[in-house]
Amino acid sequence: MSVGAGVDSGPVGQRRLRPSRWAVFAGLVVAAAIAYVVFALVRAVPAATVAPARAAGVFAGLPRALAWPTQGEAAAGVEGVGVIGLHGSGQPIPIASVTKVMTAYVVLHDHPLRDGASGPQIVVRPADVSDYVADHAAGQSVVAVQAGESLTERQALEGLLLPSGNNIATLLARWDAGSERAFVAKMNAQARTLGLDHTHYADASGAQPATVSTASDQLRLAMLALGLPAFAQIVAMPEVTLPVAGRQYNVNALLGKNGIIGVKTGSTSQAGGCFVFAAHELLGGRTVTVVGVVLHQRATRTHPSIIAAAFDASTTLLASVRSVLVTRRVVAHGATLAWVKTQWAAPVAVHAAASASLVGWPGLPTHTTIATAPHLAVPLEAGEGVGTATVAAGQQPARVALVSSGALAGPSLFWRLSHP
């Protein structure tokens, strides 16, 4: 008889114990709970975000009208800030020798001059002398030259911009581009590049009435030209001595008066009296540059000369611009500029760490932008830096650091567990 078949090998009646289904389920639940807690503690939580408290504003005060001329076109603005206002039809009209601002701009674009540098030599050729003779006979403004004379680039620009030599405009055009026609094409291409959509050049000097522009376009060009150190230095000179022509005076009779530091006059029978001017103004401890344009001024009983009429209109306009300029505090120290927001705590205010002021005029729009780290680190301590704010008035920015007004802790265990 065989032994052991169908019989447990242990003690008689003893059975193996198997866990119940409930015990298995409970174990799984506990394991899942532990896994969830671990997951909740180590998982990434939504990043803190910074929401601006404000975006737009304006300079306080009631806007005031400027003293615009009763005829022609005009424009005024502040370099590095923007345009205060425009006046007139805005239609292209002849601009006479104001054209030479673009002539100089193109030359300096093609042949930059370092601060104080003279630049390359330009040899006067017989064709240049012929231009001088013809322009002089036509009653145009000229600078005497002779064949074989050598002018530096700076001297040629001085002859262009101070005594306003039409023949020097042609000389520079020929030197730069090979011919005046090719140079004028460059002038028009540059006008398109700069967004001067109502400007067209027919010559390099402005003698031709087909050279036209608007006060708005010339205001923009003057601001850009004044950003070239060589241009700004030359138009601020009261006189210059040239090799053959000798002492030459700046035709800008207002230079040095009322803070005026340049820029360019122009006058023909078709264009009337024209003047583009720049003047320094001290505001709130800083110097700003006011730029204005007056075009197409006609003689009056008070001002029988068209250029005198342009000077008078410009002086009046400049005084009115100065009367509206102000320095305003656009950010106060401690001002709330943004909020740090999270999904687990109340928002925390972000304060400006310093004050900031800008130059402008009543009604000038301001805009605030906030820059922070892509992922703001939490927890935050009170007073901890969180980024910067940039407040812009026109093209003029002021930047201040941003700090947290209070502490911001990370999410609690309860929040982590209750927000899967």
Q: Which residues are catalytic?
A: 97, 100, 164
76 contact partners, CB below 8 Å, separation of at least 6: 66, 83, 84, 85, 219, 290, 291, 292, 293, 317, 321
**Alpha carbon distance 153, 151 (integer Å):** 6
**Alpha carbon distance 376, 51 (integer Å):** 12
Residue type, 400: V
Cα 285 off chain centre by: 21
**Alpha carbon distance 107, 354 (integer Å):** 44
Neighbours of 224 (CB within 10 A): 17
Helix (H), strand (E) at residue 202: none
Residue 364 has which token pair? Answer: 């000038």
Residue type, 10: G
Residue type, 190: Q
What Å distances lie between residue 290 and 84, 143, 259, 309, 380, CA to CA? 10, 30, 10, 20, 45
**Alpha carbon distance 278, 275 (integer Å):** 10
Question: Residue 415 in contact with residue 344, Cβ under 8 Å?
Answer: yes
What Å distances lie between residue 120 and 40, 100, 109, 259, CA to CA? 73, 20, 14, 33
Rg of the chain's alpha carbons, rounded to an integer?
37
364 contact partners, CB below 8 Å, separation of at least 6: 58, 59, 81, 82, 393, 394
State whether residue 288 is helix, strand or coil: strand
Rounded to the nearest 10 degrees, the angle between the axes of helix 153-161 and helix 166-177 is: 140
Rounded to the nearest 10 degrees, the angle between the axes of helix 100-110 and helix 166-177 is: 30
**Alpha carbon distance 390, 367 (integer Å):** 8
State whether residue 162 is helix, strand or coil: coil
- For residue 100, which of 205, 253, 198 has the smallest C-alpha distance? 205
State whether residue 151 is helix, strand or coil: strand
